Amino acid sequence: MGLHLPVIESTNSWFPVQELIAPAKPGRPNSAAITGRDNFFQTSQYQMRLPPIAYHVFRRPLPYQPTWNLQEKIHQIQLQQRRESSNHKDLLLLLEHRPVYTSGRRQTEPYIKDERERLTQIGADFVTATRGGQLTYHGPGQIVGYPLLDLSRYSPVMGARDYVCRMERLLQIHLKEAHAVDHCPSEHTGVFLDPRTKVASIGVQVRHRLTSHGFAINVTQEPCRWFDRIVACGLDDVRAGSIEGASGKALTVEGEMPGLIERFGRLYERDMVTLDLTEDSPINRAILVLEEEASAMGSWNRAPLDSH
């Protein structure tokens, strides 16, 4: 990415990609240069056997605020269980959101107020998030991944820079292997199809070496109509793209999940197993409650209400 920035480590920070990816040190390959399975494991610095990551794919689009609350609940459970026994699970939550615009904490209140009024009128929710960054959109047709991992399990401990580099490569490799779509290098946060078309966003939070938030990638064209109503991430000259548009194939979110899960395990050097929701645990109960809440909410707007 060509950015000469210091390594950032914190117990409570939000990390956009451009703040984290820096050139590799001499003799130590940067994971952003990894191009495939063989090269990845040859350059790995982690030499240990770790427990699998349990993943869960939600059946229906989820409301944003309760999903955010779920992440916070899981974070607290992981933190407590790590202190008591170190038997806490690492998780990957995969989902779609109901149509929602989210703003970052650095945006001014007058701007947020005006945007909230305008965007809720076209049929979307609006949430002011604790993350950094600016206005963006999540909704059906877009896969959102929330990894809830303990980076201290890796030896040496995986830093935030390496964690985000791997996430970016995950999305780039998925485009290439699953759809023969090349990404375009960019100085901006996310994954681009060309200098003016963005297909995926990344932003993570790391507290006490436990991760939350994650990535979003547009699969179908549906999210693009909602993105057209805003200047996403403060980039005036950039529009949203999708894998469907880039590949010229009709795609579904469900069809992308297996390959994305496999590649996630590959890039983070972990086995992937389905989360067993038949086990009675605080995390499983919280997930099932959110599944029920999403089902009870019924249908959602498939396009902005001002579409013609």
**Residue 189 exposure: Cα atoms within 13 Å on the Cβ side:** 24
CA 55 to chain centre: 14
How are beta strands 53-57 and 13-16 bridged, if at all? Answer: unpaired
Give the sign of the dihedral formed by CA 241, CA 244, CA 246, CA 248.
Answer: negative
Lookup result for tokens 């779509």: 181
Tokens of 258: 């297996």
Is 54 strand, coil or helix? strand
Q: 202-217: b or e for each residue (b if 16 or more CB lie within 10 Å)?
A: bbbbbeebbbbbbbbb
CA distances (Å), 184 to each of 1, 166, 196, 200, in order? Answer: 11, 17, 10, 12
As annotated, the active-site residues are 233
Asked whether the beta carbons of 283 and 77 are under 8 A apart, the reply is yes
Q: Which residues contact 91 (CB under 8 A, 6 or more apart)?
A: 53, 54, 55, 56, 74, 147, 148, 149, 275, 283
Report the distance separating Cα 9 and Cα 204, nearest Å. Answer: 12
Report the distance separating Cα 130 and Cα 136, nearest Å. Answer: 13
**C-alpha gyration radius of the chain:** 19
